[in-house]
Homo-oligomer: A and B are copies of this chain.
Amino acid sequence: MAGTNRQWLLKERPVGMIGPQHFELVESGMPTPDLASGQVLIKTLMLGFDPAMRGWVMDEPSYLPPVPVGDPMRASGVGQVVESSNPALPRGTLVQGLLNWQEYSIADPATARALAALPAGVPPNLALGIFGSTSLTAYFGFLDIGKPNPGDTVLVSGAAGATGSVVAQIARLKGCRVVGIAGGQEKCQWLREACKLDAVIDYKRDAIDQQLGLLCPDGIDIFFDNVGGDTLEAAINHMADFGRIVLCGAIAGYNDATPRPGPHNLMQLITRRIRMQGFIVIDYLARAPEAIADLTQWVGAGQLAWREDIQQGFENIPATLQRLYDGRNCGKQMLKLADPE
């Protein structure tokens, strides 16, 4: 195979808002086709974007090692095996998992084992979208950490996002009353009409704390938080006794140059016996089939709405990541590089 391979390398660790200036586009020769036994050459077809990626470039110990400066940026993605010395992944196989911001990559046997073959008939956008890691995050975080009961009042922040909108709809399917927080009239309308939420707060227009008092007079039983900061503080003020706060993300603070203070009202966790718990979807990957089975059923029955925001162009990758942090994305953020062969 001749040709070139483009990569976006992490140029420096961002302080404050992450942007294209923190990455460097390089072009090199194609990876060698002389694959060692067990290796595969993967062509990247579609990349997924998630707010948590901001944490992957921090030089701090976390659930995944930091992306080294000078290395290609890590990302979830779908690729296709275009050369193979691995009988488990023959040429043509569509695979999903942690890839990089690059057009081609050679996966060693260990890396290849961590990739999952796409089920027949599932296109890359659905594999990364409604059946992807954000939906698994929603499923296990809400059900396993939130432990909903029918009739619970559930609040979801970042409710129009890929994770939040699935949480909100699973909550509805489980018989909960669901209130969402999102930014802007268009997103709020989609949540009301397509996702059938009971109520929506537009944080760009309304005071969250005041609205929660009106919309959740008996308190919030489960708060699924993707945002943190002032949103978390406002929700704590309105939690019901024995409520659960599922900490999924804290996008409000991901691009702070210095960490912002936590909520002033943590004392209420004691007086109202509240459980606040963080989780990472990676811990649930072995149980993914449970989630996929339910999601497949709900999708088939037309019970889940979702949206996809698919950008184009290798050169636009870093700018596409930024869309998540200023709320410009409309549904699951992806970027398409190529169609399957």
B280/A271 in contact, CB under 8 A = yes
**CB nearest neighbor in B for A262:** B262
Residues on B with C-beta less than 8 A from A280 are 270-271, 273
B270/A279 in contact, CB under 8 A = yes
A205 within 8 A of B: no
User: Shortest distance in angstroms between A184's beta carbon and chain B's nearest beta carbon?
Assistant: 25
Residues on B with C-beta less than 8 A from A228 are 266-267
| Bound complex: CA A26 to CA B42 (Å) | 84
Residues on B with C-beta less than 8 A from A247 are 266, 269-270
A277/B278 in contact, CB under 8 A = no
Interface string of A72-84 (1 = CB under 8 A from B): 0000000000000
B275/A265 in contact, CB under 8 A = no
Residues on B with C-beta less than 8 A from A266 are 228, 232, 247, 250, 262-263
Residues on B with C-beta less than 8 A from A279 are 270, 273
Residues of chain A from 223 to 247 with CB closer than 8 A to chain B in the complex:
228, 232, 247
Residues on B with C-beta less than 8 A from A250 are 266-267, 270
A249 within 8 A of B: yes
B277/A249 in contact, CB under 8 A = no
Please judge, given known A-B contacts A266-B228, A276-B277, whether A55 and B261 are in contact too, CB under 8 Å.
no
| Bound complex: CA A305 to CA B273 (Å) | 29
A326 within 8 A of B: no
Interface string of A253-272 (1 = CB under 8 A from B): 10000011111111111111
B249/A270 in contact, CB under 8 A = yes
User: Shortest distance in angstroms between A111's beta carbon and chain B's nearest beta carbon?
Assistant: 23
**CB nearest neighbor in B for A145:** B275
**CB nearest neighbor in B for A272:** B278
A28 within 8 A of B: no
- Kindly identify which residue among B55, B262, B269, B271 contacts A63, using a CB–CB cutoff of 8 Å: B271
User: Shortest distance in angstroms between A67's beta carbon and chain B's nearest beta carbon?
Assistant: 15
| Bound complex: CA A261 to CA B233 (Å) | 10
Please judge, given known A-B contacts A261-B264, A264-B260, A266-B262, whether A283 and B275 are in contact too, CB under 8 Å.
no
Residues on B with C-beta less than 8 A from A261 are 261-264
B273/A278 in contact, CB under 8 A = yes
Interface CB pairs A-B, < 8 A, 12: A63-B271, A232-B266, A261-B263, A261-B264, A262-B262, A262-B263, A262-B265, A262-B266, A270-B279, A273-B278, A274-B277, A276-B276
Interface residues of A (CB under 8 A from B): 55, 62-63, 228, 232, 247-250, 253, 259-280, 283
